[in-house]
Amino acid sequence: MIKGFEHDGVVEYRGIPFAKPPVGDLRFEPPLDVTAWRKPLRADHWRSACPQSARFHQTDESLDEDCLYLNIALNNSTEKNRPVMVWFYGGAYVGGSANLYRLDWLASHTNAIIVAGNYRVGALGFLSHPDLNPATSSSVGLLDQRKTLDWVKRNISRLGGDPNNITIAGESAGAVSVCLHLASPMNDEHTFAKAIVQSGACLNPLPTQSQLNANGLDFAVRLGCRAHDLACAKRQPIKKILAVQSEMTSQNPYSFIPGVGSAFLPQAPSERFRSGNFVTVPVLNGGNQDEYTLYVGYQVASGQVIDDTHFHSAAEAVYGDHTDAILTEYATDKDYLSLTPQQRLGRLESDYMPPGVLSQCLMLSTAAVLSKYTTVFEYEFTDRNGPPQMTPEPFKLGAVHAGELPYLFPHISHNSRLDGPDLSPESQKLSDVMLRYWGAFMRTGRPQDNGLMDWPSFAQEQFVMDLNPQHLGQRSAYQIHHCDFWNRIYPQYLHH
C-alpha cells in the first residue's frame, strides 16, 4: 500500500524505495531487492538525491547514500493500460536526480504514467576497479536504472499502467543510458517497448573496464587507502569520496563512466548497434542545434578569451592538424560567418567534435545505423529563444545542451527549486506540439497525432524534424552540419 497525493487532477507518488539502501558494505555494489514494508507507505515527499557535489554554481549537493527511490505521476483516472515512461536523468554521470523534473506536467499532457528513479552517480555508481566483480564493475548505476525498470514491470499495472508499453527515455547522460539499455544483452523487447534519446549519440565510443581500472586504483590511493583495499574505500566518509571524485573529474571528466566488459555491457555498444545486435524497438532520437555552445559559455565565463585573435588557437586545441581544413570548409557558410567567434566555436563543435557524444553528425550517423534494423524518428531542436541554461549568459548561447528540457518539464532549473522561467508564448506553442509528439510516440511508437504535421521515419529520405516555432518541418540537417566533410576527416567515429 502506497499513499501519494493529488493536485490539479494529477496523482503523485514521491520517494518509493525500489532497492535496499546501498550503504556500508553495499557501497560500490549492485542494488539488492528492497525489504518489503508492512504498513502503508507515505510517498508524499522527495527523498535525497544520490551523493554528488554542487556544480556550475547551479546544482545541489547531496551527502545521503540512502537514495534509491523513485517518483511517479499520473492523471487521476480509472483508465487502464496507459503507456508508461521511465525517465533517466542527465548530469554527466556525476550529478542529477529524479526530483528535478515536473513529472506531473508531462503526465497530464501525455496521459502517460511518468516514472523517474534515482541512480548512483560518480564513483558510487561507476567505479571500475580490478577487485570489484567484473560482471558489475563500472555499471552499478546502470543496474540501479534496471532495478527501477524491474519495479515498474512488476507494479505499474496496479496504477493503471501497461507493463508491456514502457518507453525508456533520457537526456544527456540519461540519453546515453537509454543507448546502453538498448545495447545490453540483459534487456530485450519484453523489458521495454520504445526508447527516446535526447542529446546523446548511441555510437559514442566507451572505454573498457581495463582502461578505467587505473582510475579506480588511483581513486583508492587518493582516499588514503592501499590501491587494492576496497574495504578501506567503503569506510571513507562520503564528503571525502566526493572531494576525491571532484578532484579526479576536474582532471578527467570521464573518470567514472560506464565501461565495456561488464555483464550489462560485454561488448562495445557501437559494435552491437552496427551489427543489429540490440533491442530493436522504435526510437525517437535527436539533439539541439547548439549543444556544445553551452560549454564554450563555461570556458568564456571561466576567463578564456575566444575572439578573432584567439579563435584559431581555440579551434586548434580541439581539432589539431585538421583545423585549417575545417576553417576552409566553413569559409563559405553564411550562417557560420554571421556568428561571433565564441558562437562559431560552439557551432563547429556542435556539428562535430570527436568523439562526438553531443555532436549532430554523430547523432545522424546513429540514426542511419539504427534505422537499418528498427524504426527511427529523428529531430533537431532549433529554438534559440528558450530559457537560458546558464545565468548570466556570457554571450547569446542559442539552442544549447539541455535547452529542450523546459519544453517537456516546465521551470526546470537543474536544482530542487524548480524556479526556471516561463516559456515565451511562441516557445510555449512549440512545447505544446512537442508534448503531443512525445505522447503519441509513447502510445503507438510513432510521433503522429491528429492535426500535427506528419513526421516520417528517418529511413524516408533521412527525414529530420526541425523543432522550431517558426519552422516545424523537414530540416536538411546532414547538409547544414557539413556531415559529408566530417565523415571524411573522422571516419573512425562517423562511418555508418
Instruction: Identify the three-state secondary structure at position 112.
Output: coil
135-166 pLDDT, tens per residue? 999 999 999 999 999 999 999 999 999 999 99
Fold assignment, 287-494: Rossmann fold (3.40.50)
Domain ranges of the chain: 2-281, 287-494
Tell me whether strands 41-42 and 2-3 are parallel, antiparallel or unpaired. Answer: parallel
In the predicted model, is pLDDT for residue 481 greater than 90?
A: yes
383-434 pLDDT, tens per residue? 999 999 999 999 999 999 999 999 999 999 999 889 999 999 999 999 999 9
Fold assignment, 2-281: Rossmann fold (3.40.50)
In the predicted model, is pLDDT for residue 495 greater than 90?
A: no
Question: Which residues share a beta bridge with 88?
Answer: 170
What is the predicted pLDDT for the residue at 448? 95
Q: Which residues contact 355 (CB under 8 A, 6 or more apart)?
A: 204, 205, 362, 493
The single residue of 172, 199, 359, 365 carrying the catalytic annotation is 172
What is the predicted pLDDT for the residue at 359? 98
46-94 pLDDT, tens per residue? 999 999 999 877 789 999 999 999 999 999 999 999 999 999 999 999 9
360-395 pLDDT, tens per residue? 999 999 999 999 999 999 999 999 999 999 999 999
118-138 pLDDT, tens per residue? 999 999 999 999 999 999 999
What is the predicted pLDDT for the residue at 55? 86
Q: Going along 131-245, which residue ranges are E strands? A: 161-171, 194-198
Instruction: Identify the three-state secondary structure at position 303.
Output: coil
CB 382 within 8 A of CB 465: no
The pLDDT confidence band at residue 493, using thresholds 50, 70 and 90, is very high
Q: Global pTM?
A: 0.98
User: Hey, do 2-281 and 287-494 end up sharing a CATH topology, with the first three levels equal?
Assistant: yes
170-226 pLDDT, tens per residue? 999 999 999 999 999 999 999 999 999 999 999 999 999 999 999 999 999 999 999
In the predicted model, is pLDDT for residue 496 greater than 80?
A: no
172 is catalytic: yes
Nearest to 407, CA basis, from 429, 440, 391? 429
In the predicted model, is pLDDT for residue 239 greater than 90?
A: yes
What is the predicted pLDDT for the residue at 313? 98
